[in-house]
Amino acid sequence: MNKDADRVKLPGIPYRFKQSGLLEQALTHRSVGKHNYERLEFLGDAVLDFVVSARLYQIKSEHNEGDLSRLRARVVRGETLAILARKLNLGDYINLGEGELKSGGFKRESILADALEAVFGAIYLDGGFSACESVILHICDPVIASLPDAGELKDPKTRLQEWLQGRGHDLPEYALVSEMGPAHQKHFTSRCVAPGTGIQADGEGGSRQKAEQAAAMATFKLLTRVPVR
């Protein structure tokens, strides 16, 4: 799958390198040797965080710090970066050691996300901040434009708690309904009660926390659909 990394430009990325060695390093996994993308990834991660933060600050003037942090996290998380890297076919250009190549490392989410950040770091070193910012926004602006409302990014327990407090109700209560399965494969069922509303719901998950989150989401959905006395 690997192609020659000694090039000055990658398809889909509007930047031409002056130092092709930087691009080669950005596309080299640590399984190949010491001259790999890890340091560039560190740098690219920092620049990405700043550029996305500045963009969100500019276009989301009605959001507070917590909202902006949640929105940024959705853009810069590994899952999102891996999706963007796949759209760029970045896996076709990553240099991998024999073991990683055989195991399909060019498809692995973590490797794709790290390599994309490393490319950002390489562009920063090769062309400066403005060039890197331009590339990051070119790639990430569609994601930023399609972000959901910040409230939807809060975890279900937080959303439920804020909804109840905002209407003068007590905090939600959680109880473990059941715990089944062997120690290495537990399955939990938890119940969430919204005091003063007459609403409760159960949720399931592989941990007690996940079960409570599921129960909170189910309760929140019921509350927002059913008139509360």
The two three-digit tokens of residue 90, written as one number: 């970045």
Angstrom distance (rounded) from CA 181 to CA 86: 37
How many other C-beta atoms can be found within 10 angstroms of the C-beta atom of residue 164?
A: 22
For the question of residue 65 being annotated catalytic, the response is no
The two three-digit tokens of residue 108, written as one number: 């692995």
Q: Is residue 29 a contact partner of residue 36, using CB atoms and an 8 Å limit? A: yes
Angstrom distance (rounded) from CA 11 to CA 154: 35
For every residue of 22-71, which 3-state class applies, written as one string?
HHHHHCECCCCCCCCCHHHHHHHHHHHHHHHHHHHHHHCCCCCHHHHHHH
For the question of residue 117 being annotated catalytic, the response is yes
Bridge partner list, 199:
194
Considering 24, 100, 114, 117, which one is annotated as catalytic? 117
Considering 24, 45, 114, 126, which one is annotated as catalytic? 45
> Catalytic amino acids?
45, 117
